[in-house]
Amino acid sequence: MNSIIDALFSDQEAAASGRVMPLNHHDIVVALSKTLSDKNIAVLHMLYPRTDARTHRSLDALVDILRGQGLHQVASLIAKEAHYLLFEDPANAWRAFQEIRHDSLAIGAHLYYKGLEGDAAERALDADAHPQARARPYRVANGRFVA
């Protein structure tokens, strides 16, 4: 619990003054992500718009795609419109995030990983989800990457 509090009060001036500090959900999720960074837990903040027939069909299609990829629990949670998903497996988090990002008009997701967000979180998650890609040396031959 202290590590979460330390992450939330990382601004030393605010912590030293003893004043009340304003927080929003973003601050809390970043602090949670930072606290869980040694366990490689990814946090997806799910964004569900108001549902109309078009977005409902897209949500159903995404749930079907996730189930088809073996992400049954993720699919069930998204079907129930869970607001936050915590992943212990970086590879599953990466797969779910990519499906949501590329194949769904119905929902969006913000990724938080190791106290990072946005592109930095995505790069860190990609590296942990695909460690074999880092181990293979690549070179450029005829304008293409080859192993």
Residue type, 93: A
Give the tens place of pLDDT for each residue, 34-73. 999 899 999 999 998 776 666 667 788 889 999 999 999 9
- Write down the pLDDT at residue 131: 86
Q: How much is the pLDDT for 141?
A: 58
pLDDT digits (tens, 9 = 90+) for 95-145: 999 999 887 777 889 999 999 999 999 999 999 999 876 555 555 555 555
Per-residue pLDDT at 88 exceeds 70:
yes
Average pLDDT over residues 61-88: 94
